[in-house]
Structure 1
């Protein structure tokens, strides 16, 4: 399972792609299967950050 997942589609805030970074309770990047948190990053085509959202996984 991945630690980062990239989605190559337009994002709600006008980005060209998004990435989901999976983390544990300490904020360390971990495999999706053991993650408790995530950050969803919407990015422009050049990689610049447009929006970042944090969430808890159940």
Structure 2
């Protein structure tokens, strides 16, 4: 089970990292909303899994 959890944490961190690297000013409001929702979704999953960069570094 830990392998699945680690995979989900890693995937969420990857999604967050990708969307943070995108241009800060998307070309349209729908694009901006999509980026925001993907960031929130990834962060929500990390919070639910109890993962995250800070917690993994502390281990």
Measured against the shorter chain, the TM-score band is: under 0.3
Higher fraction of strand: 1
TM-score normalised by length of structure 2: 0.23
Structure with bigger gyration radius: 2
TM-score normalised by length of structure 1: 0.23
